[in-house]
Structure formats: structure tokens, C-alpha cells
Amino acid sequence: MASACVGKVLGSPDAQIVQTKEVKLNQPLLLCCFPSAGVVGIIVANTIIDQLGMEEIAHLRSKYIPSAAVFLDGRLRHPFRVYAHKTKNLLVVTTELPVAEEGMYAVSSSLLDWAATMGVKETVVLDGIPVQGLPEERKVLFVAEEEKIADLEKYKEMEMLKKGIITGIAGSVLAETLCRSMVGFALLTPAIAVVPDPDGAIQLIQALNKLYRLGVDVKELQESAEEIRKHLEDVAHQVDGMRRSPPQIGAPGYERMYA
């Protein structure tokens, strides 16, 4: 991969897409999966990329992305990657690292400028809404540009989020779609704030399957979600037990525990 980058980008750019493989697509859908509550966006991206066998065709370099090495299955990867699937006419953008606040405009603009050259007309951001503990109700919420709302309202499983602010790189990308000849919208779901939440990712994948017939299987994610639910229930019981038990003076271990 390194040889493909030689001579294309030198130094530390504000933000620049480096395309390493040529692919012909016809107005592809762009999925943007960034770090979020329950890392649901990252889980969705990895599931889709793995199941569809998507190939990395580009990466984004920017001085606003932390200097860190990302590796998957022991192999080094660019921190901010773009994958493509020709048959599904699909692009997936994902990164495990946060983008510095002062660089969000540069990164989102560079990404969407490149996406426009690929013929992208529709951009979807997938994100989690942080909640404490297990969400009581699992649903998919959406916010969209005016011309997309009617399409999304057809699905009873989805509900419009009336008002609010989407911050971070996800919000920056959505703001930039408003300035371009492409439609942007977000699919959001309540997600556990502090641990990976495959249940939240399942909700988003099922929504994408309905909207775009991607045919992505969620069986493995459902098994992972059940394991996490059991673990969290065990933790909750332990915490409840500690709250009910009177403190023991001189007990070995930590002097004080907060839950």
C-alpha cells in the first residue's frame, strides 16, 4: 500500500484524499461511520465491509487526525479509510480516531469534494445517541434534508428527531452536504455510552437493509449483543449488592469503591 502513495502526498496536509485504486461507480451511496456512543458507527462499518468483501480504495490524510497506527488482524491500516463495492454501488468511510475540532471543516470538505467527483448524490451519517445503561426503547431516529424526509417517513420503524444539534465530524459532514448537490441525512439510535453496543448497530443495519436492500446479515451481532446484555446485567447485580451491603472496616482490597 505504501508504494501506491509515493509522490502523491508529501508533508502534512490540512486534509487530502489519496485514492489508491480506480473504481467506476454510478452515483454511489456514501455511508459515513465515525466514532460515536457505543461505537455503533464503527461496528456497522466493519460488519458491512467484512460481509460484502469491500476493498479499500482511498484514505484521507490530515494533520487534524491524531498520529496513531491502526491495525486490523495484525495489519496496519490508514486511520481514515474509504471502501468501495462496485456491484452494490456503495462507498463506506470509517475511522477509529477523532478529528480535532479545528480541522472538522477541512476534513469534511475534502471528503465531500472527493465524493462529488465519484458521483455521490446521497450521503448517510450513522451515529449513536449516548444513554446511561441499556436503552429502554430501541428505535432508529432520522434527521434529513427536506427532499429526503418523505422517503424516510414511509418506514414505521423510523421516527423523525424533531430538533437538536449533531456535533463532531458527523455534524460537520451533514452541514457540508447542504452546500453541495447531494442529499444528506443521519440515522441515529440510542446506544450505551461506555461500552460497544452491537444492539444499536443492529438497528442501523436493519434500517439500511430496508432503505437500500444491502442484504447484510446481523446474526453474529445479535449473538454479541446477548453476551453484552448478560455481562451488563451481572455488573448491575454486583453494583446493587455493593449498595445494599454495609461497608466492612479493614476489609482487604480497595479502601473505597464508587459505583
The grid coordinates listed for 210 are 430496508
Beta bridge partners of 72: 75
The grid coordinates listed for 102 are 479545528
Choose the weakest-confidence range: 105-109, 172-176, 201-205, 251-255: 251-255
Q: What is the mean pLDDT of the chain?
A: 83
Please give the average per-residue pLDDT across 228-236, as a whole number.
58
Give kind and range of the element (H or E) at residue 192.
strand 183-192
Residues 6+ apart with CB under 8 A from 55: 21, 83, 84, 85
- Using CA atoms of 41, 42, 44, 50 in order, give the dihedral in degrees to the nearest 10: 160
Provide the pLDDT for residue 229: 63
Provide the pLDDT for residue 10: 59
Terminal alpha carbon distance of the chain: 46
Asked whether the whole model's pTM tops 0.85, one would answer no
The rounded distance, in Å, linking the Cα atoms of 257 and 132 is: 19
Ordered by where they begin, the domains of the chain are 7-217 (3.40.50.10900)
The grid coordinates listed for 42 are 464503527
Residue length of the chain:
259
pLDDT of 100 above 70: yes
Please give the average per-residue pLDDT across 115-122, as a whole number.
94
Q: Are 194 and 175 spatial neighbours (Cβ–Cβ below 8 Å)? A: no
